[in-house]
């Protein structure tokens, strides 16, 4: 997967996410969030090599997609397969924080 660096104010809807196919790494955050910036090298190192579509969504007030996934802290990274949540990591600081996502990607489910 090519690593996406910027969060985008996406118009993607929950219905589109739920109807998706394959592996998707859905990351919620903002460009000005210190925790989000600090997590990027970790995310790239441990998740950048998998065959998954990466979607970085700028979250915040008035953005319903993050609320629909119960996002409360940034960054929140959610692993989806065929539109279903498989695992998530909130404010990852080390590899162990990403273990549920890595394990699911390596097992293929």
In this structure, is residue 3 part of a structural domain?
no
% helix, strand, coil for the chain, step of 5:
35, 25, 40
In this structure, is residue 71 part of a structural domain?
yes
In this structure, is residue 89 part of a structural domain?
yes
Instruction: Look up the CATH number of the domain holding residue 64.
Output: 3.40.30.10
Looking at the structure of the chain, the number of domains it has is 1
Which tens digit of pLDDT belongs to each residue from 10-58? 788 999 999 999 999 999 999 999 999 999 999 999 998 899 999 999 9
Q: Is the pLDDT of residue 5 over 90?
A: no
In this structure, is residue 7 part of a structural domain?
no
In this structure, is residue 81 part of a structural domain?
yes
Interatomic CA distance for residues 102 and 72, integer angstroms = 22
In this structure, is residue 8 part of a structural domain?
no
Which domain, by its residues, includes 23?
14-107
């Amino acid at each position: 997967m090519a690593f996406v660096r910027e969060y985008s104010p996406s118009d993607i809807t929950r219905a589109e996410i739920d109807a998706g196919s394959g592996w998707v790494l859905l990351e919620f955050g903002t460009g000005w969030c210190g925790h989000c910036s600090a997590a990027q090298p970790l995310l790239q190192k441990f998740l950048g090599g998998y065959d998954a579509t990466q979607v970085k969504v700028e979250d915040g007030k008035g953005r319903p997609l993050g609320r629909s996934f119960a996002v409360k802290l940034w960054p929140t990274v959610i692993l989806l397969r065929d539109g279903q949540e498989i695992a998530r990591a909130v404010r990852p600081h080390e590899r162990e924080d990403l273990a549920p996502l890595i394990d699911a990607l390596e097992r293929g489910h």
